[in-house]
Structure 1
Amino acid sequence: MNPVQDEPERALFAGASRRWVRLVPWVVAFALSVALLPTTIRVLTVDYGLNGSLAAALAIAQTAPLLPAVVRPLYAWYVVFAADVVGAFVLLTVDFPAQRLWPFPPTVIVGYTGLCLALGLRAPRRTLVTVWLATAGANVVLEFFRPSGTGGNGVLLTVLGGVALVLGGALRERYEAQRRLAEQETISEAERGRRTLLEERARIARELHDVVAHHMSVITVQADTAAYRLNGLTPEVREEFTSIAATARESLGEMRRLLGVLRNEETRRGELAPQPGLTRIGQLVEATARAGVPVDFSPCAAQVPEAVGLSAYRIVQEALANVVRHAPGASVRVSVTEGAAAAGAAAEGAAAEGGRRLTVLVVNGPPPEAPLAPLEEGGTGHGLVGMRERVRLAGGTIDAGPLPDGGFRVAAQLPLDRRDFT
C-alpha cells in the first residue's frame, strides 16, 4: 500500500458543490475524536485498571488520528491500527476483570469502524482488501494471546471493519461512476455543440459558394469578352484582361474542389438549386401561413448583396420553423426593413458603422396552448447556432430570446455597406 499513490491530498467530499456536505466529514471526525478521547481514557483506567499516563497515551494514539483521517485516512489507519494492537498487548500487563472484553475495548471498535468507513470512501479496492486482511490477520494472532476466561471481540472488529470498508468502497465507486457519467455527458454536449457549429459553418460555406461563384463567373466573362467589346485596346491591356480571366477561372476551379470536400452525396442534389434571397421570404411566409400560423409580413424591396439576402432568408426560415415547432398556432410578425444604422448602435459592431443596414425582425406571441417543447435558448439548438453564425459572418448583430408574455423574439441587423460584400 503506497499512501502517496493511493490518496490525493484532498478532504473527503471536497468536490461536493454544497458547503455543508464538504463540512460533514470534518464535523463527524471532530465529534468522534472529542467523544472517544475522554471515554477511552476512562474505560482504560477505570474498567481495565491501566495506569493513567499510559491510558492517556494510548487513547490519544487511538482517537486523535481520526481528525486528519478526513484528508489522509490511510496514514491515520497506520497509526490507529498500530496503537490498537499495541494497546491489546499492554492490557495483558494488567489484571483486569475477566468479564471485560479483550483485545479491544468498545471505544476502540467504534473508532476503528469509523476510520474504516473513511478509508473506504477514499482508497482503491486493492488497498481496502489489504487493510481488511491485515485486520483479520492481527486478530488471528491476538487470539493466541487471549487470557483464559475473557471474552474475545476480535471477530466483531474484523466483521464491522469489513462492513465499513465495503460500504465506503461501494459509495466511493458509485460516486466515481456518477462523476464520470457527468463528465462524459458534459463532453458529449460540448462535442454536439461543436459538431453543430461546424455543420452550420459548412452549410453556410456551401451556400456562399454559389454567391461568390456567380461574381467570379461574371469577372471571367467580362475579362474574356473585353477584347471584343472594347475598341482600341493595346496589346498590354489585352494581355492584362487575359491574365484576369485565367486567374478567375483558376479560382473557380479551386472553389469547386473545395466545395467537393464540403458537400456529400446526401446534400449535393439539393444544393444545386439557386440560393434564395429577400424575394423568396414571401414564399416562406405563405408556407407558414398554410401550416396554420397567422403571419403578418412586412416585405422589403431593397437591393441588397446576395450574401446578405441569403442570410436574411435563412434567419427568417429558422425563426418561422421554431415557431411552428415550439409555439404552434401563435401569431407571428415578420419584418424586413432597410435603413440607416442607429447612432447608439455603433458600439455593437460592424453592423452599425454609421451606414445602411438591413433589419430582420421575427416576433411571435405565446402559443394558444402550452408548447410541447421549450424554445431554443442559450445557443444549444441548431436554429439559433445557424442564425448567429450567419450574422457573425455578415458582421452584424443578433438578439434572440424569450419575451415576458411567453413569446419569442429574433432581431438581426446586417450591414449593407461592408466592402467585402462588393
Structure 2
Amino acid sequence: MGIVWAFVTGRDRELDPPIGWWRGPTWLGWALVLGVMGMWAISAFLIFTLANAGNSLVGVLVAAPEFAAVVLARHFPLTAVRLAFAATIAAAIYSKELPHPLGYARHWPLDSHLIPLAPVVALGIARAPKERMAGVALLAFGAMALATPIVAVGYGADMMAGPIAGVIGAVIAGFILNDNRYTRLESEYERQKRSHLQQRTKIARELHDVIGHHLSMIAVRTDSARYRLSGVTPEIQEEFSALGDAAREALTDARRLIGVLREDDSEAEHLPQPTIDDIPELVQSAVASGASVTAELSAVPGVPAMVGLAAYRIVQESLSNAMRHSPGTPISVCLRSAEDSIELSVENGPFAPFSEAVDGNGLAGIKERVSLVGGECAAGRRADGGFRVWAKLPR
C-alpha cells in the first residue's frame, strides 16, 4: 500500500535524483536555503513560544524538525516528508491563538508552519516513482487528517482551512513537477537515442565506403591478374579466383552487417577523414588494380573539410561500383572547379550481362552526403548502357 511505503517501508534511495533546477554555485544555493530557513526557524520558535506562554521547549519542538526536513529534502526526500509529518502533528498539538500578532503570524501559528511544509511535500512527490506519488500525497493528507480534529476540539475545524488548502496546493504542484520531470527524462532519452543512431549511421557509412572499396579492389585485382601478370598458371589462377570469391563473399557479409547498423532517418556524420586532395591517389589505386581509368582533375584549393570528404567518398563509391559491375570497361573521372562550386563525374562503359544490380546503399550514401553539404547529384544509366554519377558541391 502506498501510504505504508511512504511512512514505513520506503527508502530514500528509491526516489529519483534531485530535480536540479538550481543552476548557480552549490554553496550559494545552500547559503540561500539555510539563510531563509534560519530566519523562518527563529520566527517559528518565537511564535510558538509566545503561543505557549513563553515555553521555549515548544518552540524548539516545532521549529527544529521542520528546519531539518528542509535541509534533508535534497538527499533524503522521504525522510524529510516523514519529519514534516511529525512536525505538523506537533504544531497542531501546540497551536494556540496568539495573544497579539507577531511577524507574519496574525493570530494563528499553524499557518506559518506551511512555509517549509509545502515545498518539502511538493519536492517529495516530484521525486517519487510514478506508482509511489499517491503514497507521499496520502502521507501529507494524513497529517492534515490527524491535525484537524486536534485543532477542532479547542478552536473549530474552520481554523484548518488555510493549512489544508496549502497542502492541497503543494500536492498538486508535486504532481505537476513529477510529470514535467518524466517528460524531460523521456526527451533526454530520445535525444540520446538519436545520437546513438547517428553514431551507428556514421560507422555504417564509413564501413561501407572503406571496407566495400577495398574488398572490391581485391576482387578486381584477383580477377584481372591473368591479364596483368605473365606466367600465371592454371593453379595460380584458381587460387586467385578463390581469393576473389572470398573477397566478394566477405563484401556480401559486410553489407548485411552494415544494413543492421544503418538507420535511414538518421543524420549524416560530421567528422571528415580523407580530403579532396586524396582523390588522385584514389584514382591511382584503381589503376593499379587493373582498371582502365582516365582522370581530369583540376586543382581545387580551399575546399571545406566536409565538402572534400563528400567529394572523396563519391569518387570512391563510384569507382568501386564501376569496377565491380562493369569490369574491363573504361572509366573516366572528371573534377572541375568553378568560382562557387565543384563539379565531378564518374562514368564507365556498359555493365556486363552477368553483373549484379548497382548497390543501393552506395548510391543512397552519395545522395546523403551531397544533401548534407547542400549540393545536387544525379546517377543513372547512359544511353549506351554505361553508368554515370554526377555531383555538384558548393565551395
TM norm structure 1? 0.54
Paired residue type of 1:189: Q
CA distance in 2: counterparts of 1:247 and 1:157, whole angstroms: 86
The separation in 2 between residues aligned to 1:124 and 1:62, in whole angstroms, is 24
1:35 and 2:39 are equivalent in the alignment: yes
Secondary structure at the aligned position of 1:70 is classed as coil
Q: Which runs of 5+ in 2 are unaligned?
A: 101-105, 257-285, 302-311, 320-332, 345-369, 376-393
- C-alpha deviation, 1:72, in angstroms: 1.9
Deviations 1:236-288 (A, max 9, x none): xxxxxx65444334323333433444569xxxxxxxxxx67794331xx5xxx
Q: Which deviates further from its counterpart, 205-214 or 40-49?
A: 205-214
Relative to 1, partners in 2 of residues 1:28 and 1:6: Cα closer, same or farther, differing over 3 Å? farther
Task: Quote the residue 1:141 is aligned against.
Answer: 146
Residues 311 and 223 from structure 1, CA distance in 2 versus in 1: closer, same or farther, beyond 3 angstroms? farther
Say if 2:14 is the partner of 1:6: yes
Report the counterpart of residue 158 of structure 1 in structure 2.
167
Q: Which moved more, 1:177-186 or 1:18-27?
A: 18-27
Paired-residue identity, %: 11
Match of 1:212 in 2: 221
SS in structure 2 opposite 1:144?
helix
**What's the offset of the Cα at 1:66?**
0.7
Q: Counterpart in 2 of 1:195?
A: 204
C-alpha deviation, 1:196, in angstroms? 1.8
Residues 220/329 of structure 1: CA separation in 2 closer, same or farther (3 Å cut): closer
Structure 1 contact 85–138 (Cα < 8 Å) conserved: yes
Q: Does 1:130 find its partner at 2:135?
A: yes
1:169–1:89 distance in 2 versus 1, CA, 3 Å: same
CA shift in 2, pair 1:78/1:90, >3 Å: same
Shift, 1:332, TM fit: 6.0
Among candidates 150, 172, 195, match of residue 181 of structure 2: 172
User: Contact 2:44–2:112 (CA<8 Å) still a contact in 1?
Assistant: yes
After superposition, the C-alpha distances for 1:226-245 in whole angstroms (9 at most, x for unaligned) are xxxxxxxxxxxxxxxx6544
Q: 1:53 to 1:112 in 2, by over 3 A?
A: same
Separation of aligned partners in 1, 2:39 and 2:336: 65
Q: Which 5+ residue runs of structure 1 have no aligned equivalent?
A: 225-241, 265-274, 286-294, 299-309, 335-371, 382-406, 409-422
Please name the residue that 2:325 is paired with: none
Shift of 1:221: 7.3
Please report how far the alpha carbon of residue 73 of structure 1 lies from its aligned counterpart in structure 2 after TM superposition.
1.6
Partner of 1:113: 118
Residue 52 of structure 1, CA deviation = 0.6
Q: Which amino acid aligns with 1:117?
A: A
Cα distance in structure 1, aligned partners of 2:300 and 2:73: 70
**TM-score using structure 2 length:** 0.57
In 1, Cα distance between the equivalents of 2:339 and 2:227? 45
SS, match of residue 281 in structure 1: strand
Q: 1:30: Cα distance to partner? A: 2.5
Give the drift of 1:96: 5.5
Q: Deviations over 1:139-184 (max 9, x none)?
A: 2233223234442234223312212312321332232122212212
**Which amino acid in 1 is paired with 2:316?**
R
Aligned residues: 281
